[in-house]
Amino acid sequence: MKEQILPPVRTSHVWQGARGRWCYDMWGRNGRPVVLLPAVLFDRTIWWPLAAELRPYAAVIAVDLPGHGGNGGPRPRHTTPGDLIDDLAGLIYHLGIRRAPVIVGHASTAGVATLFTTRYATHAVIIVDADGLSAPVATCPEQYLAALRLDDIPADFRPLAQPNDDPELFTAYQSCLSLPAAPAPGAVTAALAVHSGPAPVCSGAAGRCWQHRAYDRPGRFAQLSEVHRLASDIRALL
């Protein structure tokens, strides 16, 4: 009998956007798209365990921001949140997926994920371990990475969360780092804020727009410390 070759679970691709090259991984093409944005200075590998959990239920897309991870090439000199979301919308359209996506941002890309909902059709937005509204904006890679508490990542997953501490790349994304973490999202079915630690006290119209989940775990990488729980919370919004 002829041996049958099973398709790979994860496939890697490259797409050239208007503002730079995007490398991304995909798990399946069926179901609602779930787009995973890593924090600035990190690459898409931080999402691999979660993406594998979501694969049976959604079309999962984990991206490298331009200048990060597998994108290579020259570093972007200046990248605005608007640049990123316009390119991201182009990537989603390029994939031929016509269902409104779930956009997930981690830490410093929480504001980018939320901004996406104000310009493009979005089913739900999820922000993971976003900075508090009163948190100071980091002025150097060392300060930024210290606030993310990398030592609290489970040891088995630390190889997936190796940052690029290039000062030029950090400077190129400064406008993303200073973007408010949790403004009021656009017209979405659900807006979920996930916190490894206690949920912050939120007031005003923006605060009332968000559901909050507190996982009672150390660190700021809930996608690695509570893979199954976060996957379950995302599945509930599909």
> In angstroms, what CA-CA distances link 171 with 8, 80, 112, 163?
37, 11, 16, 15
Q: What is the pLDDT of residue 224?
A: 98
Enumerate the β-bridge partners of residue 60: 27, 34
Q: What is the pLDDT of residue 209?
A: 83
How do residues 33-58 score in pLDDT, each as one tens digit? 999 999 999 999 999 999 999 999 99
Report residue 168's pLDDT band, with 50, 70 and 90 as the boundaries: very high
Nearest to 230 by CA among 27, 55, 50, 62: 50
Q: What is the pLDDT of residue 1?
A: 43
pTM over 0.85: yes
Contact 147, 211 (CB under 8 A): no
Q: What residue ranges do the domains of the chain occupy? A: 11-235
Fold of 11-235: Rossmann fold (3.40.50)
CA–CA separation, 205 and 210 (whole Å): 10
How do residues 213-238 score in pLDDT, each as one tens digit? 999 999 999 999 999 999 999 999 99
How do residues 132-166 score in pLDDT, each as one tens digit? 766 788 999 999 999 999 999 999 999 999 999 99
